[in-house]
Amino acid sequence: MAEEEVKVFRTWSSPFPLRVIWALKLKGVEFDTVYEDLSNKSPLLLQYNPVHKKVPVLLHNGKPICESLVILEYVDERWKQFPLLPQDPHERAKARFWAKFGDDKVLQTMRMDVLLKQGKEQEEAIVSTIENLKYLEEELKGKKFFGGETIGLVDIALGWLAYHFNVVEEIIGVKLIEQQKFPLLVAWMQEFSNIPTIQDSWPPRDKLFDRYASFRKAALGEHTPK
């Protein structure tokens, strides 16, 4: 069998490449990592992702795959051990639905409106996020992970909830995922984080805090409190 060359283009902080890292590690795939500085993108990144110029990019035997959820499906199809998607078509459709929901309705709102806005706009974004988190709480009923007994595509796509989300909560001084409101989600966050592959992969918290705080500061202006 020919030697596989697998490379992941990532940054130290972004949750999107982290998904790819998790998937590869869980499947026991050997890979190299290329760290990008997004303020100074490498010629290779621009060559491999000319359309979006973003991370992650997975390079497999010289061929690039872009967009984290697309990469996850590719990885799942190429390396069959530790399957991330179920076999049943309807269950697969549900998994894809929740992964997309997380990105469109929770992640987008958190990193844009909750983190970078204030006043009424931020309040509305917080209310919206909590409403959408309720759907995720509901989805966890009777399950340890979104994927069932073991983690799957949805857990990996939502993984940032278990770490990055709390950094935003701390910066804005508002707790959205409260224990009494979201007992299943809180339990899931702990279970997910306890997985050694996940635990070992989180970026340094203080650095992440500083980074997000600086985004907020830049978006709102220096004179803004918090």
Binding site for other proteins (CB under 8 A): 51, 60, 63, 65-67, 69-71, 73-74, 77-78, 89-90, 92-93, 96-97, 100-101, 135
User: Buried b vs exposed e over 104-132: b needs ≥16 C-beta within 10 Å?
Assistant: ebbbebbbebbbbbeeeebeebbebbeeb
Closest CA to 28 of 83, 87, 70: 83
Closer residue to other proteins in complex, CB, 147/166: 147
Closer residue to other proteins in complex, CB, 139/155: 139
Are the CB atoms for 185 and 177 separated by under 8 Å?
yes
Closer residue to other proteins in complex, CB, 65/198: 65
Q: Compute how many other C-beta atoms are within 10 angstroms of the C-beta atom of residue 208.
A: 19
| Strands ordered across the beta sheet of 63-66 | 32-35, 6-10, 57-60, 63-66
User: Can you read off the two tokens belonging to residue 3?
Assistant: 């030697």
Cβ at position 93, least distance to other proteins in Å: 5
Cβ at position 203, least distance to other proteins in Å: 26
Amino acid at 53: K
Cβ at position 206, least distance to other proteins in Å: 33
Closer residue to other proteins in complex, CB, 61/179: 61
Q: Which residues face 66 on adjacent strands? A: 57
Closer residue to other proteins in complex, CB, 65/185: 65
Residues in CB range of 219: below 8 A, 6 or more apart: 115, 116, 117
Cβ at position 161, least distance to other proteins in Å: 17
Q: Is 86 left (phi over 0), alpha (psi -120 to 50) or beta?
A: beta
Report how far residue 148's alpha carbon sits from residue 168's, in angstroms, rounded to the nearest whole number: 28
Cβ at position 90, least distance to other proteins in Å: 5
Cβ at position 109, least distance to other proteins in Å: 14
Closer residue to other proteins in complex, CB, 23/195: 23
Cβ at position 142, least distance to other proteins in Å: 18
Closer residue to other proteins in complex, CB, 10/60: 60
